[in-house]
Amino acid sequence: MISAVLPKLDGITQALIAGAKVADVGCGAGSAVLLMGREFPKSQFIGYDISKYALARAAEKLKLSKLTNATFADPRDQPMATNNSVNFITTFDCIHDMTHPQQMMQSIRQAITDDGTWLLVDIKAHDSFTMNATKNPMAALLYGVSVMSCMSSSMSQPGGAGLGTLGLSANTAEQMAKSAGFSRFRKLDVEHAVNAFYEIRP
């Protein structure tokens, strides 16, 4: 994350060193927030999640870390900013699980500054089942995970999008991001066995 991913983003490492406002959406137990918080003490970090169990674990880890530049919140109690005030937003392997990913992307656009950056990390995927089945040697495993977990999560509310594990290809992500008000979309040159990394900007 610190040495291989952030330097690929235009100007982000420098901004974090100087001091930036950062939000991690779908933060889980808070590992990314705490990692960046330790590395960049002049920046302020907040992690959002709707799982009370994940937030409880994140709170425990935060206490042990003794960091003072990180917090965690349930967005239903403490909503994400809507005034374009967040410099850097991250989402790790969570957009495809969400019931309303397009709405979330719109919320991210409302939160981020006009010169800010969104780092979208999600499962490597192609545009069709045939492409995924023939191009990805882990396709059977990933589709199994999708049926058991990701698809169930993404359809757990009425009108859920149901993207599932392999439903957010680069083309789909770019189209959705542009529909949410972003204008720049770039796949980062980061080698990873499972994930793809995208820089998205207004």
Query: What single-letter DSSP state applies at residue 79?
Result: P
Q: pLDDT tens digits for 40-84?
A: 999 999 999 999 999 999 999 999 999 999 999 999 999 999 999
Residue 164 has a pLDDT of 86
Whole-Å CA distances, 11 to 15, 24, 54, 103, 175: 6, 18, 31, 27, 24
C-alpha distances in Å from residue 140, one per residue of 85, 93, 122, 123, 158: 41, 18, 17, 14, 27
In a domain, 1, yes or no: no
Note down the domain range covering 132: 6-201
**Cα 183-109-52 angle, rounded to 5 deg:** 140
Structure-token match 């594990």, residue found: 165
- In whole angstroms, how far apart are CA 191 and each of 41, 70, 126, 157? 28, 29, 16, 34
pLDDT at 146 over 90: no
117 in a structural domain: yes
Total number of domains in the chain: 1
The span from the CA of 101 to the CA of 95, in Å, is 6
User: Does residue 94 fall inside a structural domain?
Assistant: yes
Q: For residue 29, what are the contacts with CB-CB under 8 A and spacing of at least 6?
A: 54, 57, 58, 61
Residue-wise DSSP of 132-178: HHHH-TTHHHHHHHIIIIIHHHHTSSTT-----TT---HHHHHHHHH
Is 165 domain-assigned?
yes
Looking at residue 147, what is its pLDDT?
85
> What is the domain-level CATH number for residue 131?
3.40.50.150
In a domain? residue 144:
yes
**pLDDT tens digit string along 99-111?**
999 999 999 999 9
Please, which pLDDT band fits residue 137 given cuts at 50, 70 and 90?
Answer: confident
Q: Sorting pLDDT into bands at 50, 70 and 90, what band is 36?
A: very high
Nearest to 48 by CA among 92, 99, 85: 92
Residue 72 backbone phi and psi in degrees, to 5: -135, 150
pLDDT of 165 over the 90 cut = no
